[in-house]
């Protein structure tokens, strides 16, 4: 009795208590449709593997990453977990993750689009299998724009007619690097080269100058954040918007729209390429039965499992073979899939986390005309170098 | 000899002895683990050396082989295959169904490629060791089979030792007088022997010191008095305990951790002690010009200006509205009072977001009014002065009701006769305000100003939500800059903690000054 109470008291403080040793524990922060889909996958697995059950543990999204980072090194974490790739750099350095390229041969790798798989690789190793991908794409109000622009010149050309009616041709958070990235990459630039930020390059300057041109010609509003972008698009004050799959939920019923790929940058002939964010199933370095864990990870990312997730939860899955039958024609998924061919994997280096704010400051200065693109980006590069320098490294 | 003496001596010896036992046990476990680790590392190293020359290791291994160089897949550079050479022949490492133990060889070879020969414990908590030594064909790798056996706990020695301790204490108590304290000290001093073997001379000396102190405390009756005092205040202490624990857990510990972090550098999950380097980096401006928002002194200047301007406006508007509310000609006074307190009642981040929306360039209310008046639209967050003004406007809206409430309370306390007498004496309304109202407001407003200035100094929400530091971080104040060090500049928690310590010291200094000022007022009060 007392022992039972003591165990109950300990379990109240340690989330890991509920697991049984024979099971593969999977932590995730899914809810709604995505949760239903992954629970269906777990049920499938458990029906055919009575000796090695999967236990799903749903976690609140807030603080999920921090929880993983502190639970796993103490041996209290899951065997597998679902998370996007942006913390790979920190977690590999801290020994939280198990490298998994050992188990993955070319035949298995061929299941996934190369970009999605590559975005879970870091420092010559693979750290997870891709579950779903997300990138920006172009949302177009079909009542305001008959033919979506295929190039940036077409975009600039269609703007004056809309501006005359008090409508912005396009809305997106101009000063946000994530939203600006399509232009940066379209002009041939990159924010990171491995672990080194590459900020004040000629390509980046050209991209920032282009963003300023968009604002100065009143093609896009100067100060739209994500919320205002959604409002402008919903109210018909912006004919197009750059956003991701999550934007669909913000569009009120009755607004006629379509999703398509971002235009080609006329100055370079390169497609505007947004960042590719990849959600992966990652293995804890302290997983108890790693053979069973990799089998579960492979099963959850198989073509059939991906098709189920795409169908039930609308996930954009990185398995080309999953898109068969009705899924092959689902228009929203198709648009994001086409965009996938023109994406740049989100940098996973920890150094990237010091880039966002200075870059935002620089873009803000550029579009408001307070600083020239070159000067603003050089200031940002200097600031980022300041942050990257640490006392421990000196 | 009295039975009570023996009981008290045994009680003290057992209480202190229990603490020493915990310390010695911890040292014993640590020593035993260290010994097992060293054996595991030795075995792995020896096994790897034998594998390198083609021999079979004498101790059991989980895996042992010479592992070849990686061959990268053509499609994906990060998918790399290796081959293991063992006495039984060659086998490829890896694939969807490869055994987990092969992965240990594979990962060890990867580490060898990066770091060269090594011997280390596996990080999976299995207490196995892995060693890699160089050969012409690649690293020879061996992994031990499992945890090394550990020495058993010497229970017999523990029991014997416990008995010896009790006998010594008992003999001292029986002899009585000075021998009582000596007995307790000698009995506890026996802990120095196991401490010496488990933890070295340092721990043994510490045990002796504790034993001597306990003996002395027993002899002088200090332990008796301490226990009697706990007994006497049993109820009070048990009532205090929950709050005390909460204070320690929620205030003392985080504060101490925050102070300590300021002396460390955090980089990719690793903490390095750097002494005062973070503080030096902050206080010297870190090589940035004084006009650069990354220079601490620039931010401090902005913070001081921010605090001064805000508090001044809070007091000004607060007092003004309080005076108006007091006017006899005012109708529906209660309604006005409620309306003026509303800004305070609304959560401040909601207010901040509303004001941010009002200052928006394209569709903001402020710009709509300006253009309605035929004026130019202002891009509020692209220059320092306008962005700072927007912040100040928001915070003034948020801050004046507090000063108004304080001023209202103080005004109520002014005796009506005083004002009437002044009026009868022919004082003008300005004179009445200057000579009667103001002196009565001062003692109440003094502490409110100190409090208000501390709130404003650390007003994170308004800065973060309205201007967000725009343009270019120049409207950041110290506390938002500390946030950026922690969460936007590569998680430099050490810098953020040092910044927090500096903010604390500044505010502590200001509180002391402010207390001095208001105390002066109170003493001057009739």
Kindly report, residue by residue over A73-111, the tens digit of the pLDDT: 878 899 999 998 888 888 888 888 999 999 999 999 999
By CA distance, what is B379's nearest residue in A? A368
Task: Report pLDDT for B268.
Answer: 64
B285 in contact with A, Cβ within 8 Å:
no
Task: Report pLDDT for B526.
Answer: 43
Q: Which of B270, B361, B488 sits opposite A356 (nearest CB)?
A: B488
Q: Which of A69, A90, A357 sits opposite B484 (nearest CB)?
A: A357
The residues pairing with A241 across neighbouring beta strands, listed in sequence order, are: A139, A171
Task: Report pLDDT for B427.
Answer: 84
Q: Decide if pLDDT at A266 tops 70.
A: yes
The runs of H, that is alpha helices, within A262-355 are 290-300, 303-313, 326-329, 331-340
Peptide bond just before B471 cis, omega within 30 deg? yes
Q: Which of the two residues, B125 and B420, has the higher pLDDT score?
A: B420
By CA distance, what is B81's nearest residue in A? A102
DSSP conformational letter for A83: E
Average pLDDT of the residues of chain B:
89
> Nearest C-alpha of chain A: how many angstroms from B109?
12
Distance CA A383, CA A356 (A): 11
B373 in contact with A, Cβ within 8 Å:
no
Q: Which of A176, A177, A173, A172 is nearest to A197 (CA)?
A: A177
Distance CA B346, CA B462 (A): 13
Query: Across the A/B interface, how many CB contacts are shorter than 8 Å?
Result: 155
Task: Report pLDDT for B358.
Answer: 92
Q: Are residues A280 and A264 in the same domain?
A: no
Q: Show me where the domains of chain B are located.
A: 3-30+155-232, 61-144, 314-489
Interface test with B, best of A68, A101, A126 (most B CBs within 10 A): A101
How would residue B263 be classed by pLDDT, with cut points 50, 70 and 90? very high
Question: Does any domain span residue A10?
Answer: no
The sign of the torsion formed by the CA atoms of B318, B320, B322, B324 equals negative
How far is CA A86 from each of CA A105, A127, A346, B202, B483, rounded to the nearest angstrom? 24, 12, 7, 47, 20
> Nearest C-alpha of chain B: how many angstroms from A113?
11
Q: Which of the two residues, A118 and B56, has the higher pLDDT score?
A: A118
Task: Report pLDDT for B2.
Answer: 67
* DSSP3 helix / strand / coil % (chain B, rounded to 5): 70, 10, 25
Task: Report pLDDT for B196.
Answer: 92
How far is CA B336 from each of CA B83, B398, B437, rounded to the nearest angstrom? 84, 16, 21
Q: Are residues A264 and A381 in the same domain?
A: yes
Task: Report pLDDT for A15.
Answer: 43
**Inter-chain touch A364–B470, beta carbons under 8 Å:** yes
Task: Report pLDDT for A17.
Answer: 45
B278 in contact with A, Cβ within 8 Å:
yes
> Nearest C-alpha of chain B: how many angstroms from A232?
10
Question: Does any domain span residue A1?
Answer: no
pLDDT tens per residue, range A296-340: 999 999 999 999 999 888 889 999 999 888 887 788 888 888 898
The runs of H, that is alpha helices, within chain A are 2-13, 32-48, 64-71, 88-93, 106-109, 114-118, 152-164, 177-186, 202-216, 226-234, 290-300, 303-313, 326-329, 331-340, 356-367, 373-388
Q: Which CATH class is domain B314-489?
A: mainly alpha
Write the ipTM: 0.71
Q: Are residues A130 and A144 in the same domain?
A: no
How would residue B387 be classed by pLDDT, with cut points 50, 70 and 90? very high
DSSP conformational letter for A371: S
Q: Are residues A55 and A71 in the same domain?
A: yes
B286 in contact with A, Cβ within 8 Å:
yes
Kindly report the CATH number assigned to the domain that includes residue A312.
3.40.190.10
B2 in contact with A, Cβ within 8 Å:
no
Stretch B350-361: mean pLDDT, rounded?
Answer: 90
Q: Which of B286, B287, B471 sits opposite A370 (nearest CB)?
A: B471
Structural element, H or E, at residue B267 = strand B264-267
Task: Report pLDDT for B520.
Answer: 55
Answer whether A373's CB lies under 8 Å from A359's CB.
no
Question: Radius of gyration of chain A from Cα atoms?
Answer: 23
How would residue A375 be classed by pLDDT, with cut points 50, 70 and 90? very high
Q: Are residues A172 and A253 in the same domain?
A: yes
pLDDT tens per residue, range A208-252: 999 999 999 999 998 888 888 999 999 999 999 999 888 887 889
Answer whether B460's CB lies under 8 Å from B483's CB.
yes
Q: Decide if pLDDT at A393 tops 50.
A: no
Stretch B392-403: mean pLDDT, rounded?
Answer: 94
Query: Percent of chain B scored above 90 by pLDDT?
Result: 50
How far is CA A359 from each of CA A63, A200, A266, A352, rounded to the nearest angstrom? 25, 10, 24, 11
Task: Report pLDDT for A9.
Answer: 45
Name the range with the highest mean pLDDT among A284-288, A371-375, B293-297: A371-375
Average pLDDT of the residues of chain A:
87
B383 in contact with A, Cβ within 8 Å:
yes
pLDDT tens per residue, range A19-74: 456 789 999 998 888 899 999 999 999 999 998 999 999 998 877 887 888 788 87
Token look-up 């929203």 returns A332
Task: Report pLDDT for A3.
Answer: 45
Those residues whose C-beta lies under 8 Å from the C-beta of residue B62, and which sit 6 or more positions away, are B101, B104, B128, B143, B144, B145, B146
Q: Are residues A110 and A224 in the same domain?
A: no
How far is CA B394 from each of CA B8, B359, B455, B477, rounded to the nearest angstrom? 67, 10, 14, 15
Task: Report pLDDT for A370.
Answer: 84
Answer whether A187's CB lies under 8 Å from A213's CB.
no
By CA distance, what is B485's nearest residue in A? A387
- Could you please report the per-residue DSSP string of B289-301? -TTSTTSHHHHHH
| A177-186 vs A202-216: helix crossing angle, rounded to 10 | 110
Task: Report pLDDT for B142.
Answer: 93
Q: Are residues A152 and A246 in the same domain?
A: yes
Q: Are residues A129 and A245 in the same domain?
A: no
Task: Report pLDDT for A11.
Answer: 44
Distance CA A139, CA B333 (A): 53
3-state DSSP assignment of residue A361? helix
Distance CA B362, CA B458 (A): 30
Q: Decide if pLDDT at B523 tops 70.
A: no
Name the range with the highest mean pLDDT among A322-326, B23-27, B376-380: B23-27
**Inter-chain touch B77–A223, beta carbons under 8 Å:** no
Residue A171, phi then psi, degrees to nearest 5: -135, 135
Residues of chain B contacting residue A228, judged by C-beta atoms under 8 Å apart: 360, 363
Q: Decide if pLDDT at A259 tops 50.
A: yes
Lowest mean pLDDT among A359-373, B71-85, B415-429: B415-429
Task: Report pLDDT for B414.
Answer: 86
Q: Decide if pLDDT at A8 tops 70.
A: no
- Could you please report the per-residue DSSP string of B191-222? THHHHHHHH-HHHHHHHHHHHHHHHHHHHHTH
Residues of chain B contacting residue A392, judged by C-beta atoms under 8 Å apart: 265-267, 270, 272, 274
Task: Report pLDDT for A111.
Answer: 93
Interface test with B, best of A127, A223, A284, A293 (most B CBs within 10 A): A223
Q: Are residues A248 and A100 in the same domain?
A: no
Q: Which of A287, A276, A208 is nearest to A24 (CA)?
A: A287
> Nearest C-alpha of chain A: how many angstroms from B254?
17
Residues of chain A contacting residue B484, judged by C-beta atoms under 8 Å apart: 357
Those residues whose C-beta lies under 8 Å from the C-beta of residue B138, and which sit 6 or more positions away, are B66, B67, B68, B69, B85, B109, B112
Q: Decide if pLDDT at B54 tops 90.
A: no
Residues of chain A contacting residue B124, judged by C-beta atoms under 8 Å apart: 285-286
Task: Report pLDDT for A131.
Answer: 95
Domain range for A326 is 21-134+276-345
Q: Which of A144, A163, A139, A131 is nearest to A310 (CA)?
A: A131
Burial class (CB in 10 A: 0-12, 13-18, 19+), B88: exposed
Answer whether B367's CB lies under 8 Å from B377's CB.
yes
Q: Are residues A129 and A179 in the same domain?
A: no
Q: Which of A225, A311, A257 is nearest to A40 (CA)?
A: A311
Distance CA A361, CA B476 (A): 12
By CA distance, what is A299's nearest residue in B? B96
Residue B473, phi then psi, degrees to nearest 5: 80, 5
Interface test with A, best of B275, B362, B380 (most A CBs within 10 A): B362
Q: Are residues A261 and A360 in the same domain?
A: yes
* Number of domains forming the structure of chain A: 2
Kindly give the pairing relationship between strand A168-171 and strand A238-243.
parallel
How would residue A5 be classed by pLDDT, with cut points 50, 70 and 90? very low
Question: Does any domain span residue A8?
Answer: no
B363 in contact with A, Cβ within 8 Å:
yes
Distance CA A339, CA B434 (A): 72
Lowest mean pLDDT among A19-33, A167-181, B431-445: A19-33
Q: Are residues A307 and A322 in the same domain?
A: yes
> Nearest C-alpha of chain B: how many angstroms from A326?
30
**Inter-chain touch A102–B93, beta carbons under 8 Å:** yes
Question: Does any domain span residue A49?
Answer: yes
Answer whether A159's CB lies under 8 Å from A319's CB.
no
């Amino acid at each position: 009795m007392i022992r039972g109470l003591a165990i109950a008291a300990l379990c109240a403080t340690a989330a890991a208590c509920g697991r049984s040793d024979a099971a593969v524990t999977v932590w995730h922060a899914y809810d709604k449709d995505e949760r239903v889909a992954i629970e269906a996958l777990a049920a499938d697995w458990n029906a055919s593997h009575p000796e090695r059950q999967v236990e799903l543990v749903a976690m609140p999204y807030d603080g999920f990453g921090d929880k993983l980072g502190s639970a796993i090194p103490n041996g209290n974490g899951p065997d597998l977990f679902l998370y996007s790739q942006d913390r790979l750099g920190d977690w590999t350095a801290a020994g939280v993750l198990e490298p998994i390229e050992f188990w993955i041969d070319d035949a298995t790798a061929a299941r996934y689009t190369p970009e999605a798989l590559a975005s879970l690789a870091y420092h010559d190793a693979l750290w997870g299998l891709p579950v779903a991908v997300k990138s920006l794409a172009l949302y177009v109000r079909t009542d305001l724009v008959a033919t979506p622009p295929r190039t940036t010149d077409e975009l600039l050309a269609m703007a004056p007619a809309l501006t005359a009616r008090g409508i912005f041709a396009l809305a997106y958070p101009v000063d946000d690097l994530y939203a600006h990235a399509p232009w940066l990459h379209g002009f041939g630039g990159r924010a990171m080269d491995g672990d080194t930020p590459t900020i004040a390059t000629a390509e980046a300057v050209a991209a920032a100058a282009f963003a300023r041109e968009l604002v100065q010609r009143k093609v896009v509003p100067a100060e739209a954040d994500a919320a205002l972008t959604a409002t402008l698009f919903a109210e018909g004050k912006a004919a197009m918007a750059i956003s991701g799959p999550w934007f669909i939920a913000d569009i009120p019923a009755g607004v006629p729209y379509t999703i398509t790929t971002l235009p080609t940058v006329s100055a370079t002939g390169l497609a505007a390429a947004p960042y590719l964010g990849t959600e992966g199933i990652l293995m804890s370095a302290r997983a108890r039965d790693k053979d069973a864990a990799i089998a579960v990870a492979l099963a959850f990312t198989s073509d059939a499992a991906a098709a189920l997730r795409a169908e039930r939860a609308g996930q954009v899955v990185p398995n080309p073979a999953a898109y068969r039958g009705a899924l092959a024609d689902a228009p929203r998924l198709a648009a994001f899939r086409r965009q996938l061919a023109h994406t740049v994997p989100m940098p996973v280096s920890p150094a990237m986390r010091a880039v966002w704010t200075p870059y935002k400051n620089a873009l803000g200065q550029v579009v408001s005309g307070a600083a020239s693109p070159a000067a603003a980006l050089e200031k940002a590069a200097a600031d980022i170098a300041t942050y990257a320098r640490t006392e421990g490294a000196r | 000899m009295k039975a009570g003496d023996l009981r008290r001596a045994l009680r003290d010896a057992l209480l202190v002895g229990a603490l020493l036992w915990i310390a010695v046990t911890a040292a014993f476990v640590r020593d035993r683990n260290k010994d097992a680790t060293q054996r595991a590392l030795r075995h792995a190293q020896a096994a790897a050396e034998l594998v390198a020359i083609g021999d079979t290791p004498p101790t059991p291994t989980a895996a042992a082989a010479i592992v070849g160089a990686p061959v990268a897949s053509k499609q994906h550079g990060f998918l790399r295959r290796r081959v293991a050479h063992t006495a039984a022949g060659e086998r490829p490492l890896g694939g969807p169904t490869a055994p987990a133990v092969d992965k240990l060889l594979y990962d060890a070879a990867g580490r060898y490629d990066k770091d060269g020969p090594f011997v280390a414990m596996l990080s999976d908590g299995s207490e196995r060791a892995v060693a890699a030594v160089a050969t012409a064909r690649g690293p020879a790798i061996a992994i031990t089979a499992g945890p090394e056996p550990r020495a058993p706990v010497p229970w017999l020695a523990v029991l014997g030792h416990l008995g010896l301790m009790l006998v010594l204490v008992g003999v001292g108590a029986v002899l009585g007088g000075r021998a009582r304290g000596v007995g307790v000290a000698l009995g506890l001093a026996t802990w120095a022997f196991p401490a010496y073997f488990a933890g070295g001379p340092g721990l043994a000396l510490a045990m002796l010191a504790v034993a001597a102190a306990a003996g002395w405390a027993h002899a002088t009756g200090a332990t008796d008095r301490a226990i009697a005092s706990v007994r006497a205040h049993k109820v009070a202490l048990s009532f205090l305990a929950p709050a005390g624990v909460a204070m320690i857990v929620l205030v003392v510990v985080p504060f101490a951790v925050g102070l300590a972090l300021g002396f460390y550098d955090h980089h990719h999950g690793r903490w390095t002690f750097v002494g005062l380097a973070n503080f030096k980096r902050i206080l010297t401006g870190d090589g940035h010009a004084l006009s650069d928002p990354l220079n601490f002194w620039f931010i401090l200047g902005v913070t001081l200006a921010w605090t001064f301007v805000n508090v001044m406006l809070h007091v000004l508007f607060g007092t003004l509205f309080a005076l108006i509310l007091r006017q006899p000609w005012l109708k529906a006074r209660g309604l006005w009072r409620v309306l003026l307190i509303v800004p305070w009642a609304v959560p401040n981040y909601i207010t901040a977001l509303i004001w941010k929306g009002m200052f928006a360039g394209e569709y903001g209310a402020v710009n709509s009014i300006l253009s309605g008046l035929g004026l130019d639209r202002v891009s509020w967050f692209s220059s320092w002065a306008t962005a700072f003004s927007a912040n100040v406007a928001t915070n003034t809206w948020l801050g004046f009701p507090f000063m108004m409430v304080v001023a209202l309370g103080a005004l109520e306390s002014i005796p009506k006769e005083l004002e009437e007498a002044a009026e009868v004496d022919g004082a003008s309304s300005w004179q009445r305000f200057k000579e009667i109202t103001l002196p009565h407001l001062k003692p109440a407003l003094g502490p409110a100003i100190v409090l208000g200035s501390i709130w404003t100094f650390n007003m994170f929400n308004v800065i973060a939500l309205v201007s967000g530091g725009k343009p270019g971080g120049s409207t950041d104040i110290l506390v938002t800059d500390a946030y950026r060090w922690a969460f936007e500049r590569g998680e430099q928690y050490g810098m953020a903690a040092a910044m927090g310590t500096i903010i604390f010291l500044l505010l502590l200094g200001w509180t002391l000054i402010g207390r001095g000022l208001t105390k002066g007022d109170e003493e001057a009060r009739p």
